[in-house]
Amino acid sequence: MQIGSLQLESNLFLSPLAGYTNLPFRLVVREIGGLDLAPTDLVNARSLLERNPKALKLIETCPADQPLAVQLFGSVPEEMRDAAAYLQSRGVASVDINMGCPVRKVCRVGGGSAMMTELDKTARLVRGMVEAVKIPVTAKMRLGWDDQNLTAPDLAHVLEDAGVAAIFVHGRTREQGFGGSVNLAGIAAVVRAVRHIPVIGNGDITTPAAAKMMLDETGCAGVSMGRGALYHPWIFQDTRHFLRTGQASPEPAFEERVRVMRRHLDLMVQVFGEEHGCRMFRKIGPWHSKRFGPANEFNKRIVKLSSLAEFNIILDDYRLWRRQFLDDAGLLKPHFRPSPMVASFMREPAVAQRTEIPVPKGPVEVW
């Protein structure tokens, strides 16, 4: 698929997840396959221009991590423009503008979802960025502020005129947060509102079948997955296979899940150092263990992880503890197997009221 001048091998995208979509995680997913363009967490444009070390760490990359999209947020046109030019000079493949972030800190300064309420101003900001760089500029948004203000189609239309090369849309409103169901009709309305550029649908895709349903029912050109990739980094490979063949891929074996988790931790340590990498892994380990079957013994220790040596002990102890749930062939007894994931938009309305995919607690809980 094509985004501006960028020819991509996959129409499956990783969604930016602040605190998670760093270089180690992108490499983990890329090594498994099925993904091409992958984003950073959102980065403050001004911090980037100030060469703030934390902002520079967020855009850290390597040759295996290509093509890379950097997501910017900010509301000062000159800063957004100059940050985009700086990213281009660093070899970044595309720049994404965050327009869907409902966090107060971001909205307060006019960025994030607040952009959706001021179309003219936003169009000017975007045009300034598009004119300053050759690489594609894309935008990521929600459907609107609330159900009474589904502004995404209007915004998408205006942004296309301003030169945006693709739209990523999470099929929920800001008011919805992460609750309720993803609105496929809302995404379809965004698809209809643009003329030529691709729209990438997003929200709650946890299985290849959900990805196919979003593609089929909305007419979007591609889909983007965030939390679904955290607990199942195989989701891009599995989805690509399913879209090509109609066949579901087998669940990775426990030891394969462990291998990928271990690789993730090793990369975290390489990129962030052992102490900080292990500390950051405290919130990542429980995502990997979601498909292990019973994992409370693992989770309660991984959330205190402080060294690689400790990780080995935790894993060894967990393997022993987990044996009680296995049959003679070493597989989880049926009763202990995790139940299949079902996307909110594929569930009965009453069930869809509950959020199936957890939203991590802490500073990101209001995403």
Q: Which of 161, 206, 169 is nearest to 190 (CA)?
A: 169
In 3D, which of 45, 117, 105, 120 has the Cα closest to residue 75?
45
Q: Which residue has the tokens 């189609």?
A: 153
Query: Known catalytic residue: 101?
Result: yes
Between residues 238 and 318, which has the closer beta carbon with respect to ligand FMN?
238
CB of 275 to ligand FMN, least distance (A): 23
Q: Which span sits near ligand FMN by CB under 6 A: 28-36, 54-62, 113-121, 199-207?
A: 199-207
Task: Report the residue from 133, 225, 260, 346 that binds ligand FMN according to the rule CB under 6 A.
Answer: 225
| Among 172, 40, 143, 145, CA closest to 97 | 40
- The strand pairing partners of 71, in sequence order, are 42, 96
Instruction: Determine the interface stretch with ligand FMN among 9-17, 48-56, 116-124, 332-340 (rule: CB under 6 A).
Output: 9-17
Q: Judged by CB, which is closer to ligand FMN: 180, or 294? A: 180
> Contact region for ligand FMN (CB under 6 A) — 23-31, 201-209, 265-273, 345-353?
201-209
Q: Which of 101, 107, 220, 278 is catalytic?
A: 101
CB of 202 to ligand FMN, least distance (A): 5
Q: Which residue is nearest to ligand FMN (CB)?
A: 226
> What would the two tokens of residue 54 be?
């934390």
3-state secondary structure of 156: helix
Nearer Cβ to ligand FMN, position 93 or 210? 210
Interface pick for ligand FMN out of 46, 170, 257, 264 (rule CB under 6 A): 170
Does 1 bind ligand FMN (CB under 6 A)? Our answer is: no
In the complex, minimum distance from the CB of residue 310 to ligand FMN, in angstroms, rounded to a whole number: 25
Give the DSSP letter string of 93-139. SEEEEE-----HHHHHTT-GGGGGG-HHHHHHHHHHHHHH-SS-EEE
At 225, is the secondary structure helix, strand, or coil? strand
Query: 156: exposed, middle or buried (C-beta count within 10 Å: 0-12, 13-18, 19+)?
Result: buried
154 CA to centre of own chain: 24
Could you identify the residue written with the tokens 């500029």? 137
Binding residues among 10-49 for ligand FMN as defined by CB under 6 A: 15-19, 41-42
Q: Which residues bind ligand FMN (CB under 6 A)?
A: 15-19, 41-42, 71, 98, 100-101, 140, 170, 202-205, 225-228, 357, 359-360, 364, 367
Catalytic residues: 101
